Amino acid sequence: MRPFRAAAVQMVSEPSVEANIAAAEALVAEAAAAGARLVALPENWSFMGRGERDKLTVRETEDGGPAQAFLARAARSHGVWIVGGSIPMECGVADKVANTCLVYDDRGRRVARYDKIHLFGFSRGEERYDEAASVLAGARPAAVATPFGRIGLSICYDLRFPELYRSLGPVDLLTVPSAFTHTTGSAHWETLVRARAIENLAWVIAPAQGGTHPNGRRTWGHTMVVDPWGTVKAELAEGPGVVLADIDPAFQAEVRASLPALAHRVL
């Protein structure tokens, strides 16, 4: 495989699907104009409601919806592969959604779906989150073959569970669209992203939400691309924007040849 440019998009999404699509459209166009062939969006890019259950009102079906239509159109019109962060999708349970990552090829065809397996829960003082109250956990890991190698899919809180990534391996690249809270992100985000890159000897693209949202939630941001040695190649601390990095498969091959940890696995 030849080197290629990848882009990780950072957003500060709001309760308007239409406004978020317009923001994502501009950022994907910026990434494509800068030469990106693979573009990844953050978790919840299409909707960040004021309440946890607001997402039920904008869930999309397998038949489509505005977020899916945008992803397909943007991939096709810009000729890029898009890892579509996550959007709320119907899951067969009336009062819940799936937190779903969809992947589109450069012709606008959907080629993969992953439903978030690990659901975030956190309680400290008045800061409380319980994703399981409105989201149905996925059951199957997912990876997809692309011109850029095999990409392992994950979403946000999945980052804390290394066994998920081991089950996907070997992969060439991992994507972790996220909306880490400021509290947990400031403590753990970079450490976890770099750890997943190092232990899997894989490139990691980690697009994030980064800023203060209309619902009052503050997300950590620090969208980054990390190489298989664990080096942060590009990063954006806060606010909307595009993080670009040139991915060199030959560098990954060199790292894996010099440190064949994947071949040394016993358990």
Respond yes or no: is residue 101 known to be catalytic.
no
Judge contact between 151 and 213, C-beta under 8 A. no
Is 156 annotated as catalytic? yes
The single residue of 96, 156, 235, 238 carrying the catalytic annotation is: 156
18 is catalytic: no
Rounded Cα–Cα distance for residues 265 and 22 (Å): 46
Whether 28 and 39 have beta carbons less than 8 Å apart is answered as yes
Bond preceding residue 240 cis, omega within 30 of 0: no
The CB density around residue 234, as the number of other CB atoms within 10 Å, is 17
Q: How many CA atoms lie within 13 A of 250 on its CB side?
A: 4
Per-residue DSSP letter, 62: T
Strands 210-212 and 218-220: antiparallel
Locate 118 and state its tokens. 């690990």
Contact partners, residue 87, CB within 8 Å, separation at least 6: 44, 45, 46, 47, 60, 65, 67, 68, 100, 102
Read off the tokens for 170.
Answer: 């070997």
CA distance 136 to 133: 8
Decide: 226 and 232 in contact? Cβ < 8 Å: yes
- How far apart are alpha carbons 101 and 112 in whole angstroms? 8
DSSP state of 134: T
- Find the catalytic residue in 101, 116, 235, 238: 116
d(CA 100, CA 155) in angstroms, rounded, equals 9
Q: Which of 43, 60, 90, 235 is catalytic?
A: 43
Q: Residues with catalytic annotation? A: 43, 116, 156
